[in-house]
Amino acid sequence: MNVILGVGGGIAAYKAAELARALMEHGASVQVVLTAAAEEFIRPLTFAALTNRKVITDLFAARSAEETLASSVEHIRAAQENEVLVVAPATADLLAKFAHGLAPDFLTTLYLAFTGKVILAPAMNTNMWNHPATRDNIETLAARGNYILPPDEGLLACGTTGAGRLPDPARIADAVMTIGHPRKDLDGEVLVISAGPTQEAIDPVRFISNRSSGKMGYALAAKAAARGARVVLVSGPVNLPGPYGVEVVSVRSAAEMRDAVMTHLEEATIIIKSAAVADYYVANPPPQKIKKTAARMSIELDPTADILAELGRKKGDRLLIGFAAETQNLVQEGRRKMETKNCDMVVANLVTREGAGFESDENEVTLVLRTGESIQVPRMSKFEVADKILDQALKLRLALYSRT
Ligand SMILES: Cc1cc2nc3c(=O)[nH]c(=O)nc-3n(C[C@H](O)[C@H](O)[C@H](O)COP(=O)(O)O)c2cc1C
C-alpha cells in the first residue's frame, strides 16, 4: 500500500517517526511530507532514514520550468500515486485549512488534489480541541468522508489533563492499514480469535503465566479486520493496543477465556485459537497472600478445561485453527494436535528458534492442514504471517466445507 504521511507542527510530531516505522513494518511504502512548523519539531533526516525516501517539505522546491516539468508537479503526482493520506499529528491549523480549502503549502495543496482515503489524527491542547472552531472543522471534515481518529485522553505536554493526545502510533498504523486495505475478501465473516497468555492465581498477588506476548493473535485480528471481517478478540493480559475496528474481550484466567470464547462461538464462522492457555491452575487459591517461611512449599495444580478440544467437538462446519508451540518434531506434533482436537489447521512453530515465536515481531511457522498438506512459511513479520494464515483459511474452507 502506498501511503503519504503528513506531519503537522505539533508537540506530538516526534511520534510520527514511530508511525512511519510502524507503517513500514506493515509492508507499506511511505512518503513523508512535513509542514514548515513540523520541521521546527523534527528534522526530515529522521524520516528519510526510516523510509529510505526523500522527505517533501517545500511546495516550491522546483526552481525552474524544467525542474517543474521533470518532477511533473510533485503534489499532483504524489496525490495520484498514493492510496492513503494520513496526517499525524493533524494540528488545529491543518484541520482549519483542510476544512476551508486553503492551500498555502505542500501538504494542504496535496490534500485538495488527493482522491484516496484521508485519515486525520488530531493532537493538541484540550481547549484547542474543544474550541467551537475546531469542533466545526472536525464535523465538516468527517461529513466529507475523512476518517477522524479521535485523540486520547491523558496528561498533555502543556501540563493539563484531558483530550488531545495523539493515539499510540501502532494503533494509527493499524487503522491506516485497515481503512486502506484494498482486498475485502473476509467481508461477511465473523472471526473469534484468542490471544496472549492466561494468568492463574496462586494467591491474591501471585500467578502462573507464560511468555506469550499476544503479538501473533493481535496481528491476525488486525489483518482479518482489514480484510473486512467482524473480529472478536478474546485476549489474555498483554501489553498491546486493541487493533482498529476489533472488539476486544479482556480476560485473565483460562476459565474466563473458555467462557468468553464459548459465548461467541455461535456467531463465529472462523475460530483461531492462538492464545497460550495455562494447562494447569490452582483450584482454590487462598484469599490472603502466602507468607514466606524457611520451609519448602509445593503447590497443587489441577488441569484446566481444554478449550480447543471443546471447540473441536462443538464447531460444526466452522473452520477451527489451533496453534502448537513446540520445542521439537514440529509437523508430527502439529498433525497429532489437529487429529486429537479436530482442528482444520494447526499453525506449528518452534518456540526455541532465535528471533521467532514468543515475544518476537517475526515468526516462522508450518501450516499443517486437514487436507494432508503442510506449508512452510519462512520467517517474516507476524502481520505477513497472519495474511498467509488467512489466505490458507479461505482456501481450506472452500476445499473442506465448499462454502463461498
Ligand atoms: C511548543 C509548541 C507546541 C505546539 N503544539 C501544538 C499541538 O500539539 N497541536 C496543535 O494543533 N498546534 C500546536 N502548536 C501550534 C502550531 O505549531 C501552529 O499552529 C502552527 O502554525 C501549525 O502549523 P502546521 O499546521 O502547518 O504544521 C504548537 C506550537 C508550539 C510553539
Question: Could you report the per-residue pLDDT of 134-166, keeping only the tens digit for each?
Answer: 999 999 999 999 999 999 988 877 777 888 899
Q: Which one-letter amino acid corresponds to residue 263? A: T
**Cβ(166) to ligand 1 under 6 A?**
no
Q: How far is the CA of 7 from the centre of ligand 1 (A)?
A: 11
pLDDT of residue 62: 62
The sign one gets for the Cα dihedral 98, 101, 105, 107 is positive
pLDDT of residue 159: 77
Which residue, by CA, sits nearest to atom 14 of ligand 1? 10
Q: Which one-letter amino acid corresponds to residue 242? A: G
How far from each other are the two terminal CA atoms of the chain, in whole angstroms?
27
CATH entry 1.10.10.10 includes domain 184-401: no
Among all chains, which residue has been given the C-alpha cell 513494518? Answer: 25
**Backbone phi, then psi, for 150, in 5-degree steps?**
-65, 145
pLDDT, tens digit, 9 for 90 and up, residues 16-70: 999 999 999 888 999 999 999 999 999 999 999 999 999 999 887 765 666 666 6
> Would you say 322 and 367 are in contact if contact means Cβ atoms under 8 Å apart?
no
Instruction: Give the residue ranges of the chain where pLDDT is below 70.
Output: 62-73, 353-359, 402-404
Mutate which of 93, 111, 135 to test ligand 1's pocket (most atoms within 8 Å of Cβ)?
93
Location of each CATH 3.40.50.10300 domain in the chain: 184-401
**Cβ(148) to ligand 1 under 6 A?**
no
> Would you say 278 and 256 are in contact if contact means Cβ atoms under 8 Å apart?
no
Q: How far is the CA of 10 from the centre of ligand 1 (A)?
A: 4
> Would you say 310 and 273 are in contact if contact means Cβ atoms under 8 Å apart?
no
Distance CA 266, CA 112 (A): 46
Q: Which CATH superfamily is domain 2-179 in?
A: Flavin prenyltransferase-like (3.40.50.1950)
Location of each CATH 3.40.50.1950 domain in the chain: 2-179
Distance CA 245, CA 233 (A): 11
The sign one gets for the Cα dihedral 276, 281, 286, 292 is negative
